[in-house]
Amino acid sequence: MKIKSERDFWSGMMFLVVGVVFAIGATNYSMGPACPPNDPCATSLWARLSQLSAHPGAGYFPLGLSILVALLGAVVLFKSLTIESDGGDPIGKFAWRPLIVIIVAIALFGAMLEPLGLALSVPVLIAVTSLAGDEFHWKGVVANAIVLTIGSWAIFIWGLKLTIPLWPAFVR
99-158 pLDDT per residue, tens: 999 999 999 999 999 999 999 999 999 999 999 988 889 999 999 999 999 999 999 999
CA distances (Å), origin 53, targets 38, 61, 87: 20, 10, 46
Residue 76 counted as domain residue: yes
- The pTM of the full predicted model, rounded to 2 decimals, is 0.62
Q: How many domains does the chain have?
A: 2
Among 46, 44, 48, 45, smallest CA distance to 56 is for 48
Which of 35, 54, 88 is where one domain is finished?
Answer: 88
Same domain for 10 and 37, yes or no, is yes
- Alpha helical stretches, state H, 5-164: 6-26, 45-54, 60-82, 96-116, 118-130, 138-152
Kindly state whether residues 38 and 63 are assigned to the same domain: yes
Q: Which domain holds residue 129?
A: 96-159
Within-domain flag for 165: no
Angle between helices 118-130 and 138-152 (to 10 degrees): 140
Residue 46 and residue 110 in one domain: no
pLDDT (tens digit per residue) in 20-54: 999 999 888 887 777 776 776 667 767 766 767 77
Spatial neighbors of 14 by CB under 8 A, at least 6 apart, are: 73
* Residue 58 placed within a domain: yes
Nearest Cα to 4, choosing from 70, 87, 94, 71?
87
Q: Are residues 127 and 55 part of one domain?
A: no
